[in-house]
Chains A and B, each alone.
Chain A
Amino acid sequence: MENDVNPEEIKKVSHPKKPKEGFFYNVFHNGPFLLFALPGAIWMIFFFYIPVFANVVAFKEFHFSPDGFLASLMQSKWVGFENFKFLFTSDAAWLITKNTLLYNLGFISLNLIISVFFAIIMSELRHKRLVKVYQTSMLLPYFLSWVIIGYFVMAFLNPDKGLLNMMLHTDINWYAEPKYWPFILLFIGTWKGIGYNSILYFATVMGIDPTYYEAATVDGANKWQQIKNITIPQLVPLMTLMSILAVGNIFRADFGLFYQVPQNSGALYNVTSVLDTYIFNGLTSTGDIGMSSAASLYQSVVGCVLLVSTNALVRKLDGESALF
């Protein structure tokens, strides 16, 4: 079975590095691993590497041809960076970029701290049954779509009939007061994802070799010292990893959170406009596929640059934790 190397595989692994014992020796030697990676790699070719080339449409003035998409793509006029312009020329460009970045930085740090906090606490609670109940409930918001959460928030913040105004005996028109919204959005965005995000850390804590803790207990370390010296260090690689990956998506915002939860209220645009809502509001009526893929490409390229630099930084600090 190990000898059964797919010819396609050989092509793919043609790596610039000079093989020591000859290329075929290497492929043979790494056969089993190549086979392990094969299904995933084929999937990536089909569902990513082939279709991703369609992104050239970002540089085209798209025009349909009766002979299908490829023909349309080829025959469309090349317009360079024309489709990207709308992302930079508007007055709001700086604002939305700033909003997107700041919110995402907020989410990355809040998510990290709170998820790890909950994961550790959950792993240490004495009633394991209760932990199951807690975790299941914490996962529930993940299933609710933003539309539903939008309603839920509305039930609290509705100026006339909302619970919050009734309880506080205030008369605040929440959907017209931008100053509260950065906190509301940060809170809700983090709250919704905590259950999901903490699962990963929880599983990691549960996977830490228990002998470490035993030894620590024998040495007389208290709980806090155990957490500080065993659990957290063991979690650091995953924390680093998650942060690096999140940085790669720092230019993408959760559309639903910023669109549905503030009910797309115009009065709040200064604090709720992020790249994704801006693109949506700008392009829904025209539906220009060139401009929308330009926007997505822009988000990807910036994310890519940031990811590579973060990774380089991490590698300098701690080679083991770096992604590549």
Chain B
Amino acid sequence: MKKWVKRAVGLSLLAITAVGLTACGSKKSASDNGTPTLLMYQIGDKPKNYDKLIANTNKVLEKKAGAKLKIQYIGWGDYKQKMSVIVSSGEKYDIAKADNYAVNAQKGAYTDLTSLLPKYAKSAYDDLDPAYIKGNKIDGKLYTMPINSNIYSTQVISFNKKYLDKYNINVDNINSYDDLESAFNQFHSQNKKVLTFSTGPNLRIGSNLDFAIDQNYPFAVNAVDSGKKIINPYDDPAYLATLKKFHEYYKKGYIAKDAATDNTDRPLSGDTWFARQETQGPFDYGDHQLSQTAGQEIVSRAVSPAIKSTAQAQMYNYVVSNNSDNKEKAVKVLGVMNSDPEVLNGLVYGEKGKAWKYVEDDKRVELLKGYKENYHSAPWQTGDNNKITPTKNITDEMVQTRIQDTKDAITSPILGFQFKTKNVKTELTNISNVMNKYLAGLQTGTSDPETTIPKMNKELKKAGYDKVQKEMQSQYDTFLKDQK
């Protein structure tokens, strides 16, 4: 017994010392010589060569913004939770990717940048697609420096080129979900082993509608007809027709039987699927980006119009904390990050000279051997995509198409409408619960819209749908009036 006690005591002393040592070793020294170091929270994994990337960035930032940057990365899965704790607890930070932008901005978590941006980040601000500014204003105030990237989005059905060739299926005439029938049929009749249409509980069908809160709440307007009325999408004939079509596909076996609960991953790079739904925007350059990510050729057909929506405008918002001690410098840093090609290229492609070099009079970038995964960050979460020098395989023609497409995209009438939930919080929570019950089933075609939707609408009504709709309609009317 005694021996046991002695051993335990010895062990504990040893272990406590070890903790002490490890703790000491982790202490960081904060250097300060006039230029403050700003703390920025970013989503994702820390690049393996972070020290080099940030040193390169800081060289420019010190000169142009008078500040240095320290980027703290928080993983994809943790970001929401950790950021909400950081924001709620009032812990100090300077810049972050906004989490739940509209809600937190309304609650006062972020600095009002309406006047700061034109002053300290002029070039970045001026080059934003106007839809970004409109889509992010809350009560006339702008709380963010959004990243100029995919301002519009469109739902596409992407096909595995390998199978298209193998079974000689032509998809050129597909322009809607209805048109998919024959391609699906051709594939399914010849290959039953591979899933025809890969979809899952988190996918939402594309349509002419734009949603007022997000796609999980049944409040939408018709974006194509610049709708003035808040409608229930499940009452919209076109939307309903698509759902019915999905149910048909489901019954015919094109969609997995367990689609509503299935989280099996069918990698883009694999051959376990024939068709799937993807979202594309201008900087995808058609199927260029998708094929590159997949490492195999992919052919996509758009099934919904290109819409500039609030969701796209708020895709990646940088915000400045309302408790930052260096608000102006933070805005300056954001200005540089969204305008300076040297900073942007350095972050997006990695180390210059090692991972990439300029070609064609600095108008294009050629990737070198040193360009590796985890050694750079993704464009859509770094800074203005327009200012990033494109890679060599993007032709001038593709750039022109991109610019034209962006011009042609429909601007949703509801862009910039921020619903104030204050008076209907309870009802919205109830509605969210009702929707959770039915969404996955309807959106994957698993449940029959004919019988499910009446049931759902009845429950929605009980949850207070009409009250929310009325409140929203009146807020939307005011919003439309203010637009003029």
From B90, B100, B261, A65 is in contact (CB under 8 Å) with: B90
The residue among B88, B109, B438 with the most chain A CB atoms within 10 A of its own CB is B88
Q: Do A267 and B441 have beta carbons less than 8 Å apart? A: yes
Q: Do A158 and B258 have beta carbons less than 8 Å apart? A: yes
Residue of B nearest to A91 (CB): B462
Chain A interface size band reads 35 or more
| A222 beta carbon closer than 8 Å to chain B | no
Given that A264-B201, A269-B437 are known contacts, is A68 also in contact with B260, CB under 8 Å in the complex? no
| B473 beta carbon closer than 8 Å to chain A | no
Residue of B nearest to A171 (CB): B257
Task: For the complex, give the distance between the alpha carbons of A289 and B433 in Å.
Answer: 18
Rounded to whole Å, the gap between the CB of A57 and the closest CB of chain B is 9
Residue of B nearest to A263 (CB): B261
Task: For the complex, give the distance between the alpha carbons of A281 and B260 in Å.
Answer: 16
Q: Give chain A's interface residues, CB within 8 Å of chain B.
A: 61-72, 82-83, 85-86, 89-92, 154, 158-160, 173, 175-176, 262-267, 269, 273, 278, 281-283, 285-289, 291
Q: Do B108 and A65 have beta carbons less than 8 Å apart? A: yes
Given that A267-B441, A282-B430 are known contacts, is A69 also in contact with B425, CB under 8 Å in the complex? no
From B257, B322, B432, A66 is in contact (CB under 8 Å) with: B322
Task: For the complex, give the distance between the alpha carbons of A92 and B440 in Å.
Answer: 19
Residue of B nearest to A160 (CB): B257
Interface residues as binary, B56-95 with A (CB distance below 8 Å gives 1, 0 otherwise): 0000000000000000000000001000100111100000
Q: Do B84 and A175 have beta carbons less than 8 Å apart? A: no
Interface residues as binary, B243-266 with A (CB distance below 8 Å gives 1, 0 otherwise): 000000000000011101111000
Q: Do B440 and A89 have beta carbons less than 8 Å apart? A: no
Within 8 A of A (CB), among B436-474: 436-441, 446-447, 459, 462-464
From B103, B201, B322, B323, A286 is in contact (CB under 8 Å) with: B103
Given that A64-B109, A68-B323, A265-B440 are known contacts, is A282 also in contact with B260, CB under 8 Å in the complex? no
B262 / chain A contacts, CB cutoff of 8 Å: 263
Rounded to whole Å, the gap between the CB of B254 and the closest CB of chain A is 13
Task: For the complex, give the distance between the alpha carbons of A70 and B201 in Å.
Answer: 40
Rounded to whole Å, the gap between the CB of B44 and the closest CB of chain A is 20
The residue among B84, B432, B464 with the most chain A CB atoms within 10 A of its own CB is B432
Task: For the complex, give the distance between the alpha carbons of A124 and B271 in Å.
Answer: 55
Q: Do B436 and A287 have beta carbons less than 8 Å apart? A: no
Q: Do A85 and B258 have beta carbons less than 8 Å apart? A: no
9 pairs of residues in contact across A and B, judged by CB atoms under 8 Å: A64-B90, A86-B426, A173-B257, A173-B258, A175-B261, A263-B261, A265-B260, A265-B261, A273-B433
